[in-house]
Amino acid sequence: MEGQCADRRADRHRRRPSRLKWLLDLQPASFLIKPLRSAGLYTALVVAFDTAQRRVDDAAHIERLEDRIRSRRVVFAAVLQIMRSHAHVRRRTRFALIRQTAMRHRTTIEQLCADIIAGGGMPNRTSRTA
C-alpha cells in the first residue's frame, strides 16, 4: 500500500501509552471522537481529505526535488563543456549563459544541459520553440 493514503481512524478513548504509540505510528489523517455526531464526522472527513491531498502534493514535490538533485551531474558536465568551448568567458558568466539560454528556449536548466551534452554544445536559437 506504498504511496497510497490509507483510511486510518483512531479511538481517542484508548489512552494506554502503547496504544498511543501504535496510533502515532499509523500517522492518522484524522480522528473521531465518541459519541459520533454529524459535526464531528464532517470535520474528520474534511481534515482527512485535506491531509491526504497534502501528503500527495508533498510526495510529488519531493520527487521533483530528487530529480533535480540527480541531474546535478549533467549540469556540471554541461558547464565543463561550455568552459572548454568558451574559455574566454568567466565561470559565473558561463552558468548565466546556460540560464539565459534555458529561459530563452523556455525549458529547464537541466533539460538544456542534457541537450548540450547530447549535442556537443549550445543549441541553436531556433532549435526550440515555445
Q: Which residue has the cell 542534457?
A: 114
CA dihedral 80, 81, 83, 86 (to 10 degrees): -170
Q: Which residue has the cell 558561463?
A: 94
Q: What integer pLDDT is reported at residue 2 of this predicted model?
A: 44
> What is d(CA 8, CA 2) in angstroms, rounded to the nearest whole number?
14
Which residues face 11 on adjacent strands? Answer: 32
Q: What integer pLDDT is reported at residue 127 of this predicted model?
A: 46
> What is d(CA 112, CA 98) in angstroms, rounded to the nearest whole number?
8
Q: Which residues of the chain have pLDDT under 70?
A: 1-15, 124-130
**Would you tell me which CATH number, out of the four given (1.10.357, 3.30.420, 1.10.10, 1.10.150), belongs to the domain 71-119?**
1.10.10
The helix or strand, by DSSP H or E, that contains position 79, with its residue range, turns out to be: helix 72-85
Q: What integer pLDDT is reported at residue 121 of this predicted model?
A: 76
What phi and psi, each to the nearest 5 degrees, are found at residue 32?
A: -110, 140
Q: What integer pLDDT is reported at residue 13 of this predicted model?
A: 47
Which of 23, 30, 24, 25 lies closest to 7, judged by CA? 30
> What is d(CA 45, CA 90) in angstroms, rounded to the nearest whole number?
57
pTM score, whole prediction? 0.55
In the chain, domain spans: 17-68, 71-119
